[in-house]
Structure 1
Amino acid sequence: MIWGGVLAAQTAKPIYKQPEHSISERVSDLLERMTLEEKVAQMRMFHAQIGVALNEKDELELSDKVIEKLKMGIGGIKNPGEHLSPHRAAILNNQLQKYIIENGRLGIPGFFVTESYNGVDAAGCTRFGRPINMASTFNPALVKEVFDAVGREARWRGLHLTHSPEADIVRDPRFGRMSEAFGEDTYLTSQMIISAITGLQGDYKGLKSSHIGAVAKHFAGYAQVAGGTNFASIEISPRTLVDEIFPPFKAAVIEANTLGIMASHGDINGVASHANPWLLTEVLREQWGFEGYVVSDANDIGRLHYFMKVAETPEEAAILGLKAGVDVDLYAEDAYALLPEIVSKKPELMKYIDRSAARVLRTKFILGLFDDPYIDIEQVASSVRSQSHLDLAKDADRESIILLQNNGVLPLSPAKTKKIGLVGPLLTSETREQFANAFGEEVEFIEAKGFELTDGNGAVPQLAPEEAQRRGIKEIIDKVQQAEAIVAFVGGDEFTAKEGFFNNALGDRERIDPVGLQDELIASLKKLGKPLIIVLKHRRTLSINTFAKKADAILDCWDLSEKGDYAIAEVLFGKVNPSGKLPVTVPRSIGQLPFHYSQKEINYKKGYLFAENKPLYPFGHGLSYTTFDYSPVQLSHPVLHENGSMYATVKVTNTGSLPGKETVQLYLKDLIGTVVRPMQELKGFQKIELMPGESKEVSFEILPEMLEYCGLDMEKNQGKGTFELRVGSSSASFQAINFELQ
């Protein structure tokens, strides 16, 4: 009787509520029970700012608009609790989830979504360095640790997915979102994407409880925008698309098993990405085997009508997105919200709605939301922004700082340099404190920010008036007269490089030189005759010609973590030996663009009148306080066969007096191709640590697939013939040897 009773109870319970069934079985069962309106609700997402809040008694408060939206359930909600502490955010998200489940006919949970450019984009979480900083480490294992921490912090505050990381290749520094991605190189970005996604997702195994799902974006070609301006057209050849732009996304799908993909604002060959079945279905799903869900970028399905102008009506825009393979409509009221009425007239579209709704439900089952939808509140306070995560942020900072140049002034000695000027518009309120924490009472710091770069307007910032900047320069010069060395914090901030949102916001620039009178500041400081060290903080590549000419040393720091100035102090005083490498090419002027290191070889034939035909700093460049010697590279075989492999080996020796880390880089160059080929392409790197006098052998396995590219027929081939293999410390400093592919 007992066994019969249990069996009867299990039988009565819907399959979708039984964890012992497969996800596909649970999805099918649930889908059969849902109405059209409930399915469409799963294909929509709104932002919590329209009315999801926690009152002073820690009780959930929902606006009438939100209550109306949740009547049929919801696919997801963006940024619930983003401005609350992690503990209160978890309280909010538990109550919000409970409301969604209990007020839905079938008890379908929602997923809650964030973004992750400096860690979790929410109050109270650890602020890590930007993705471009992660790329500068050339350390995939460390990057995975960082994103593992990000995934845990997001889940602990009640979040389930992140619209990150960016798998875009960014080669135009005019583009304001440059630092959100991992740089200009296809291979480096692919390795960073694999690390970021596997970290966020806890190697996929953590998705049910401890980690969050990644949504790689923007598929595809975003950041290749004409003129470097957001929302502009994308002009890119089919060969470049397949050989250089697709690989990081393919790696996200095949190697990292990303849970989601976000489509791109842009177009490919005139076809809007949100209405491109070749891109979102044939390539993504049929060729690569992607089984996750595709989400629109904000409002982009509706924009097929009123912005891209490839749909006559909002209804046609919704149909285009649905058929192309966009499963979730982010924010819009003029797109998938129209589907119930559309389907009443076009019932043949029902199969596409079932397809998309099933993908969303599958995602929720993978995330464990049907079986364990709530957060353990007691765990939150001790887990988010823990000391171990703050220490990890410092470790990533230390490895991402790049020593661009040094005439011997660095590292500074606290015993010899007792009074240091900390100056410049990128100086923060915490800089002096973090420097003092790093070196106690050993050094006296003279602080003088001088001026701000802009007025801080988040939409369209204006440069600070020149009169105010010149007063600031004078103030700085007056204050540092007694300093023995000067550290100038210059470059750019969150207002001089940012996302240019669709309406009433700008974030891109028509020039890439430092804004305002920063060159004038550096020239004035140089006249003082004191050692001048530049700390470069920025979110886009800058043509820093005056900085390079005047400075005794330059540290390129991009946008570090919340404790970034502490790591800068450690590097300046030699407690940490810098080991970062450039994930971009630094041009001398905007006129050189495009100027990525892997552009076609023929682009290097001619330069410009009255200008040097080389970058200010090459891709992969980064100095150390010690020196490294490379032996001639050796090949295990002179010939690589199409089904075989070979090894390239080099011995690296630390010939200096300090321990140091070096990133050994492997580049391949196709000497004769069936189409015009790149100058060279990064195909491997290894970061090693050596004590003074220590040597290590570094080996790279060379496989035929590393040599593949789209030939004349647009099919992948290995281009048999002679290749040059380059191993060295950057794209411009290497030893080379030839081999044959047969």
Structure 2
Amino acid sequence: RYIWLDDKHVKQVGEDAVVNLALVTVQDLADTYQPPFEKCVRDGRASGVMCAYNRVNGVPSCADSSLLFKTLRGEWDFKGYVTSDCDAVAIIHNDQGYAKTPEDAVVDVLKAGMDLNCGSYLRNYTKSAVLQKKLPESQVDRALHNLFAVRMRLGLFNGNPVPNPFGNIGMDQICSPEHQILALEAARNGIVLLKNDAKLLPLPKSTMSLAVIGPNANSPQTLIGNYAGPPCKSVTPLQALESYIKNTVYHPGCDMVSCSTGAIDKAADIAKQADYVVLIMGLDQTEEREALDRVDLFLPGRQQELIVSVAKAAKRPVVLVLLSGGPIDISFAKDDPRIGGIFWAGYPGEGGGNALAEVIFGDHNPGGRLPVTWYPQDFTKVPMTDMRMRPESSLDYPGRTYRFYKGDTVFEFGYGLSYSKYSYSFTRVSQNNLYLNHSSSLHTKETSESVRYMLVSEVGAEMCDERKITVHVGVKNNGELAGKHPVLLYVRHGNHGNGRPKKQLIGFQSVILSGGEMGEIQFEVSPCEHLSRANEYGLMVMEEGRHFLVVGDDKHPITIII
């Protein structure tokens, strides 16, 4: 009862957030932008929500009463407080011009349902708004009620907080052995193997010499990324690799990650002498962070030139490790046979250096999957302020995300290799046909394609629960190494045109299997949640016809009958 979840940024669409006017269809809001926040509120029982800077369809998020009252508190039954992003209230007047005066901005956000301002606007202008008769004191009371209710639930009025749980947390608790193991495990599980030609990886521990090259190889700060506290301890990838191979030679190759200048010839000479070469490249906070967006998807500066030159000089195909928060167009490396292995590790935290070394030398079998689509550089022609999910061929618009995007990818969402091969099969599905026409009180309608459908809101929670499907998936590790393997369950409509997603991830679970071992995992599929879609009016509907559950190359049909 002493932990709360703060959910941010509700309805932030696009990163040019201060003045950005995001035009979003009700269909995209219903099936893309709002569901993650709804999950946090309904299932995670979030106690705090942060409204964003930007305007959505003309209305600033912090002044959107439909969002904060009708949707958040009404439909999602939110019981916490709403805070603004920092200075988001000031921006409503100063930058967006939505409010004519500072007092009007205060009135707009408090009447819309916001409770707390990160910034000084409420402190400076709430009293004058009340004195000018623009704001009733009841709105101030309402905000205070929400704020103090959460503080009471946290036990902040229960006397001396020190004896309470979490009342005296210091470095001994934060940096406990259990927490450091957890940091290492998180880093291990997040590393994604993108390429492993001719089973180059894992590298043999009997390697006589190793060259480690790249500007991110010996940078502990790059591992941490943005929005992070100080690590308990720092082990860089270089230091971790040196613990495996004593004869390790290091060269940064570039002056820094921007790689405007570099000693490429020197790095290539070092690569010539080593048995194996690991390049540790990518991005850092000088290239991407809050308030610093990238303008392209390529590696910065001369990094590509460095990678290609080292790969040409090396005795064997090289291993490329990428540290970055977002995707990078590395088509050149994907297609180059001299680059035998590629890892993406994100910004893996303090355990990232050790985790990378463990994976490279086979003490951990990689199983991570990409959390986003890796688009090619050509995708940057799409304005980042264009929020549409669905493609429009007449306008040469490819759409966004794995659910709708029609175009080439560098790597797909959910992609990730392992040192083992896994196979899947649907071993048991509790029902193959779903009948939704048992009650004459339920109304059916037809789409423009003459497909019969029902509104999820009319089906009702009771029937939704009764119609849940239990799905059992068999998984086999066909390799020799044990591994922790994530299994991704998708659904796709038999007819995925006319605004329907190509496919939709509806569940994922990890299973730990030894080499040659078989296992089984269970999913629960809710038809109202997982077999529905948003129509053009933003209403969730269940359509008659075939849907397919998909795991790997195996699929299982589910037929909805209305």
TM bin (shorter chain): 0.7 to 0.9
2:534 to 688, 707, 710: 710
Partner of 2:473: 650
Answer whether contact 1:633 1:737 (CA < 8 A) is retained: no
Measured in 2, the distance between the counterparts of 1:480 and 1:427 equals: 15
1:523 to 297, 308, 316: 308
Q: Check if 1:621 corresponds to 2:427.
A: no
Answer whether contact 2:218 2:239 (CA < 8 A) is retained: no
Partner of 1:167: none
Shift of residue 497 of structure 1?
0.7
Q: Check if 1:484 corresponds to 2:275.
A: yes
Q: CA RMSD in A?
A: 2.9
Partner of 1:630: 424
Q: Check if 1:342 corresponds to 2:140.
A: no
Measured in 2, the distance between the counterparts of 1:437 and 1:329 equals: 44
Measured in 2, the distance between the counterparts of 1:599 and 1:345 equals: 44
Task: State which drifts further: 268-277 or 233-242.
Answer: 233-242
| Paired amino acid for 2:250 | E
Measured in 2, the distance between the counterparts of 1:364 and 1:229 equals: 30
Answer whether contact 2:27 2:539 (CA < 8 A) is retained: no
Q: TM-score, normalised by structure 2?
A: 0.83
1:263-322 deviation line (CA, Å, top 9, x unaligned) = 011111111111111111111111111121110111111111111111111111111111
Partner of 2:28: 240
Answer whether contact 1:224 1:235 (CA < 8 A) is retained: no
Distance change (3 Å), C-alpha of 1:736 and 1:663:
same
Measured in 1, the distance between the counterparts of 2:185 and 2:544 equals: 43
1:398 to 168, 180, 188: 188
Answer whether contact 2:390 2:499 (CA < 8 A) is retained: yes
% of aligned pairs identical? 28
Partner of 1:741: 560
Aligned length: 501
SS at match of 2:250: strand
Shift of residue 604 of structure 1?
13
Measured in 2, the distance between the counterparts of 1:591 and 1:441 equals: 40
Answer whether contact 2:365 2:483 (CA < 8 A) is retained: yes
1:646-687 deviation line (CA, Å, top 9, x unaligned) = 333332211111112222111111234795211111011121
Shift of residue 429 of structure 1?
4.8
| Paired amino acid for 1:249 | F
SS at match of 2:335: helix
Answer whether contact 2:129 2:135 (CA < 8 A) is retained: no
1:565 to 353, 356, 359: 353
Distance change (3 Å), C-alpha of 1:718 and 1:318:
same
| Paired amino acid for 2:344 | D
Q: Check if 1:543 corresponds to 2:329.
A: yes
Partner of 1:664: 487
Distance change (3 Å), C-alpha of 1:247 and 1:639:
same
Measured in 2, the distance between the counterparts of 1:714 and 1:437 equals: 51
Shift of residue 346 of structure 1?
0.9
Partner of 2:549: 725
Partner of 1:451: 254
Distance change (3 Å), C-alpha of 1:618 and 1:516:
same
Measured in 1, the distance between the counterparts of 2:341 and 2:240 equals: 23
Q: After the TM superposition, which residues 319-718 of structure 1 pair with which residues of structure 2 at under 5 Å, given as runs?
A: 319-332=107-120, 334-346=121-133, 349-375=136-162, 380-407=170-197, 408-415=199-206, 417-429=207-219, 440=243, 442-453=245-256, 463=258, 466=260, 468-469=261-262, 472-500=263-291, 507-529=292-314, 530-550=316-336, 551-591=339-379, 600=390, 613-631=407-425, 635-642=429-436, 643=463, 644-672=467-495, 676-705=499-528, 706-718=530-542
| Paired amino acid for 1:512 | L
SS at match of 1:404: strand
Partner of 1:296: 84
1:349-398 deviation line (CA, Å, top 9, x unaligned) = 11111100111111211121112354368763421211211111001111
Answer whether contact 1:626 1:656 (CA < 8 A) is retained: yes
SS at match of 1:527: helix
Measured in 2, the distance between the counterparts of 1:528 and 1:604 equals: 47
Distance change (3 Å), C-alpha of 1:219 and 1:475:
same
SS at match of 1:364: helix
Distance change (3 Å), C-alpha of 1:393 and 1:262:
same
Answer whether contact 2:546 2:557 (CA < 8 A) is retained: yes
Answer whether contact 2:187 2:352 (CA < 8 A) is retained: yes
| Paired amino acid for 2:557 | N
Distance change (3 Å), C-alpha of 1:661 and 1:362:
same
Shift of residue 439 of structure 1?
6.8
| Paired amino acid for 1:224 | G
SS at match of 2:344: strand
Measured in 1, the distance between the counterparts of 2:367 and 2:494 equals: 31
Measured in 2, the distance between the counterparts of 1:303 and 1:234 equals: 16
Measured in 2, the distance between the counterparts of 1:378 and 1:606 equals: 57
Measured in 2, the distance between the counterparts of 1:620 and 1:570 equals: 22
Distance change (3 Å), C-alpha of 1:437 and 1:713:
closer
1:148-203 deviation line (CA, Å, top 9, x unaligned) = xxxxxxxxxxxxxxxxxxxxxxxxxxxxxxxxxxxxxxxxxxxxxxxxxxxxxxxx
Distance change (3 Å), C-alpha of 1:564 and 1:439:
same
1:720-742 deviation line (CA, Å, top 9, x unaligned) = 222122112xxxxx322322112
Distance change (3 Å), C-alpha of 1:605 and 1:297:
closer
1:586-637 deviation line (CA, Å, top 9, x unaligned) = 1122427779xx95487699899xxx94311111111110111223665433
Task: State which drifts further: 317-326 or 342-351.
Answer: 342-351
Partner of 1:189: none
Distance change (3 Å), C-alpha of 1:268 and 1:563:
same
| Paired amino acid for 1:525 | V
Measured in 2, the distance between the counterparts of 1:605 and 1:576 equals: 46
Partner of 1:107: none
Answer whether contact 2:218 2:237 (CA < 8 A) is retained: no
Measured in 2, the distance between the counterparts of 1:285 and 1:298 equals: 22
| Paired amino acid for 1:725 | L
Measured in 2, the distance between the counterparts of 1:547 and 1:223 equals: 32
Task: State which drifts further: 234-243 or 474-483.
Answer: 474-483
Distance change (3 Å), C-alpha of 1:694 and 1:477:
same
Measured in 2, the distance between the counterparts of 1:538 and 1:230 equals: 25
Distance change (3 Å), C-alpha of 1:723 and 1:381:
closer
| Paired amino acid for 1:256 | G
Unmatched segments (≥5 aa) in structure 2? 221-233, 399-405, 437-462
Partner of 1:136: none
1:398-449 deviation line (CA, Å, top 9, x unaligned) = 111000110111000111x221111111122569866555774644211111
Shift of residue 564 of structure 1?
0.9
1:533-564 deviation line (CA, Å, top 9, x unaligned) = 01110111111112222321001101011131
Measured in 1, the distance between the counterparts of 2:490 and 2:418 equals: 21
Q: When you count helix as a share of all residues, which structure comes out higher?
A: 1
Measured in 2, the distance between the counterparts of 1:627 and 1:700 equals: 22
SS at match of 2:92: helix
Answer whether contact 2:28 2:538 (CA < 8 A) is retained: no
Answer whether contact 1:315 1:342 (CA < 8 A) is retained: yes
Measured in 1, the distance between the counterparts of 2:236 and 2:14 equals: 40
Measured in 2, the distance between the counterparts of 1:281 and 1:641 equals: 35
